[in-house]
Amino acid sequence: MSGIRVLAGTRKGAFILSSDAKRKKWKVDGPHFAGWEIYHMKGSPADPNRIYASQTSAWFGQIIQRSNDGGKTWDPPGGGPTMSPQGMSMGESNKFVYDGVPGTHQWYDGTQHPWEFKRVWHLEPALKDPNHVYAGVEDAALFESKDGGATWKELSGLRKHDSGPKWQPGAGGMCLHTILIDPKNQNRMFVAISAAGAFRTDDGGKTWKPINKGLRSQYIPDPTAEVGHCVHRIALHPSEPNTLFMQKHWDVMRSDDAGDTWKEVSGNLPSDFGFPIDVHAHDPETIYVVPIKSDSEHYPPDGKLRVYRSRTGGNEWEELTKGLPQKNCYVNVLRDAMSVDSLDPCGIYFGTTGGQVYASADAGDSWEPIVRDLPAVLSVEVQTLK
């Protein structure tokens, strides 16, 4: 029987929420890695039993965890931590390699520009091979593993881009937080970096192009600069990979030419500041955002938790409130904390910094909490099980 598995990474562990295709009753399993920050978990589209998790501790460092049985058991591929912010030595497994050289806590490239490995923000399994996975890290860089996470090599063309010295950290750090693989052309990928902007490769990661034309950012010297924009999240629909949607630090944006140019589609939103953005599984023109008040007040406008849906690709927006708290709600929804399933009708899921995970089994028309009182939710990903 088909079903749903919701992977929730939190400040103090990982939780797996599961249901059948009716999405009425949910089983909560966890915490896995209790007490550790789980920045991101994601399942492989090539193997429903394979899940990767980014496990982070300020004291013990960064570990990539892997499950081969749908989250029942976990093990770091080969065992041992990768690297700590204090510069502890790395084990032979889970090793991150920079330009063929095993990494240390901080190192300098040919321009004496310091680069520091802090954590893995996002894991993106490849579409056809469960052992092939990408990692977006802080400081901003992109890594690739072809052995299920045992060893990693940097796709260094991104960080060596001519614009690299101009990249600056956003409020949350200089993190590569979004990785999208074009399902029609797997040599094409899109990434987003806070606060550098969005980039595209058309040759499997060898070379990269900034794709920020049309973005305007108030707090940089040149508001139309090639890089320096604080992109919070980008999303696409598999059937229309040239159409991208972006939630930016102010502004919701759309591109119909694979990021070459962007236009604003914030329309009638109560605030165009937010973090997540996602696309309906069956309609590439239906998108979802969760506005928050401002860049200094990270909570819903008027204390009302509302998801906004556009069925017109961003031209007009409708508020979705049924089942969501409409007073005294001051939670945030982070950039990786929204996801969709591929059932019909499409299910929409998001987690909050207040520890709630909400689900809608009717494309957003109504909502209910799957679980409450978790630690602050950092990420939500969904696996649709056949």
3-class SS shares of the chain: helix, strand, coil, % to 5:
0, 45, 55
Give the model confidence (pLDDT) of 313-336 as tens digits.
999 999 999 999 999 999 999 999
* Any domain includes 181: yes
Give the model confidence (pLDDT) of 273-296 as tens digits.
999 999 999 999 999 999 999 999
Cis upstream peptide for 85 (omega within 30°): no
Q: Which of 306, 331, 356 is the last residue of a domain?
A: 331
Give residue 112's pLDDT band: very low, low, confident or very high (50, 70, 90): very low
* Any domain includes 26: yes
Asked if the model's pLDDT at residue 82 lies above 60, the reply is: no
Cβ–Cβ < 8 Å for 128, 46: yes
Are 314 and 183 part of one and the same domain?
A: yes
Give the model confidence (pLDDT) of 141-166 as tens digits.
999 999 999 989 999 999 999 999 88
Are 318 and 172 part of one and the same domain?
A: yes
* Any domain includes 362: yes
Distance from the Cα of residue 268 to its chain's centroid: 25
Which structural domain, as residue segments, surrounds residue 246?
A: 161-331
The CATH number for 205's domain is: 2.130.10.10
* Any domain includes 25: yes
Are 302 and 348 part of one and the same domain?
A: no
* Any domain includes 137: no
Q: pTM for this structure?
A: 0.92
* Any domain includes 68: no
Tell me what pLDDT residue 60 has: 78
Cis upstream peptide for 345 (omega within 30°): yes
Are 195 and 320 part of one and the same domain?
A: yes
Are 347 and 312 part of one and the same domain?
A: no
Tell me what pLDDT residue 368 has: 97
Residues 6+ apart with CB under 8 A from 248: 215, 217, 229, 230, 231, 232
Are 169 and 188 part of one and the same domain?
A: yes
Are 227 and 291 part of one and the same domain?
A: yes
What amino acid is encoded at 95 in this protein?
A: K
* Any domain includes 380: yes
Are 30 and 172 part of one and the same domain?
A: no
pLDDT, the chain, mean: 90
Residue 141 host element (H or E):
strand 141-145
Are 285 and 346 part of one and the same domain?
A: no
Tokens 């249901």 appear where?
19
Are 348 and 327 part of one and the same domain?
A: no
Give me the number of domains the chain comprises. 2
Tell me what pLDDT residue 171 has: 86
Tokens 């595209």 appear where?
200
Are 206 and 260 part of one and the same domain?
A: yes
Tell me what pLDDT residue 223 has: 81
Give the model confidence (pLDDT) of 10-36 as tens digits.
999 999 999 999 999 999 999 999 999
What amino acid is encoded at 330 in this protein?
A: Y
Are 239 and 346 part of one and the same domain?
A: no
Taking every pair of Cα atoms in the chain, the longest distance, rounded to a whole number of angstroms, is: 56
